[in-house]
């Protein structure tokens, strides 16, 4: 736990070294990589029996230093859910361009005001860092870990980060959920051969 905290501090300092321009370009590449991935999943779904249901994609409202994927909200091929936290609980709730937003209880991050819960088929997770073993280091409150541990449905989990936040190894604990894919501006890693493209 202490080791995780010292890595979090180092990452927050390192993040300041990258210029906005560098991140702007990398951000566009991450959007392209994620949307190509989602399109391939939509095609798979169109060929399956579940096609009458629209794919639900879990995105997130970006915080400083995280890739901004909000451009992906506007697409007729999927519906979008965004995390909403209330106390210790997190759910994904419906988000469309123009949906009303409110500040979360920490006063730093926006979340939709509505309470229309959606359970994603594919969840895109931000992280301070990810490892080549599929582990994610978050802000340390465990919201995503707790969410996935209480949901029965198989949700494909895609970690996204800038390439410089990809580590060979990160400390992890038994409760840490593992990613199925990690997408950066320079790499796409698949951890589950059954799900591979
Ligand atoms: N963009 C984004 N949305 C996300 C997450 C995330 O990591 N990134 N989360 C991933 O779990 C959940 C929310 N986690 C959050 C974690 C910290 C703070 C925050 O404002 N922290 C304060 C200190 C809070 C405290 O410990 O008292 C801060 O950073 O100053 C907000 C939301 C769901 N939504
Ligand atoms: N499934 C779970 N049930 C109960 N507690 C959990 C669960 N998963 C994580 N926690 C608790 O949440 C706390 C934070 O966990 P961790 O350090 O892994 O956070 P994180 O995944 O980096 O954060 P976040 O998901 O908020 O970005 C820990 O104290 C951990 O015990």
Q: What is the pLDDT of residues 131-176, one digit of tens each?
A: 999 999 999 999 999 999 999 999 999 999 999 999 999 999 999 9
β-pair type (55-58, 122-126): parallel
Q: How many CB atoms lie within 10 A of CB 2?
A: 7
Contact 94, 160 (CB under 8 A): no
Expressed in angstroms and rounded, the spacing between residue 108 Cα and the centre of ligand 1 is 8
Domains and CATH numbers, the chain: 2-190 (3.40.50.10420)
101 — phi, psi (to 5°)?
A: -120, 160
Expressed in angstroms and rounded, the spacing between residue 142 Cα and the centre of ligand 2 is 3
Ligand 2 atom 14 nearest Cα? 142
Q: Does residue 26 register a pLDDT over 80?
A: yes
Task: Summarize the confidence of residues 178-185 as an average pLDDT.
Answer: 97
Strand partners of residue 55: 78
Ligand nearest to the CA of 125: 1
Give the CA distances from residue 38 to residues 84, 124, 172, in Å, rounded to whole numbers and listed in that order.
Answer: 22, 10, 28
Closest ligand 2 atom, residue 145 Cα: 8
Task: Summarize the confidence of residues 64-86 as an average pLDDT.
Answer: 95
DSSP state of 75: -
* Separation CA 192–CA 197 (nearest Å): 10
Task: Summarize the confidence of residues 43-66 as an average pLDDT.
Answer: 84
């Amino acid at each position: 736990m202490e080791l995780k905290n010292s890595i979090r501090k180092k990452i927050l300092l390192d993040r300041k070294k990258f210029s906005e321009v560098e991140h702007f370009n990398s951000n566009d590449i991450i959007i392209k990589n994620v949307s190509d991935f989602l399109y391939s999943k939509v095609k798979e779904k169109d060929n399956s029996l579940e096609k009458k249901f629209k794919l639900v994609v879990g995105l997130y409202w970006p915080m400083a230093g995280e890739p901004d994927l909000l451009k992906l909200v506007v697409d007729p091929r999927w519906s979008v859910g965004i995390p909403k936290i209330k106390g210790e609980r997190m759910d994904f709730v419906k988000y469309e361009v123009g949906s009303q937003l409110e500040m979360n209880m920490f006063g730093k991050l926006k979340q939709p005001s509505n309470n229309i819960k959606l359970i994603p088929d594919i969840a895109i997770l931000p992280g301070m860092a990810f490892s080549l073993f599929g582990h994610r280091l978050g802000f340390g409150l465990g919201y995503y870990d707790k969410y996935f541990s209480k949901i029965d449905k198989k949700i494909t989990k895609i970690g996204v980060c800038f390439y410089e936040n990809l580590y060979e190894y990160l400390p992890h604990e038994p409760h840490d959920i593992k990613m199925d894919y990690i997408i950066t501006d320079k790499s796409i890693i698949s951890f589950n051969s059954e799900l591979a493209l």
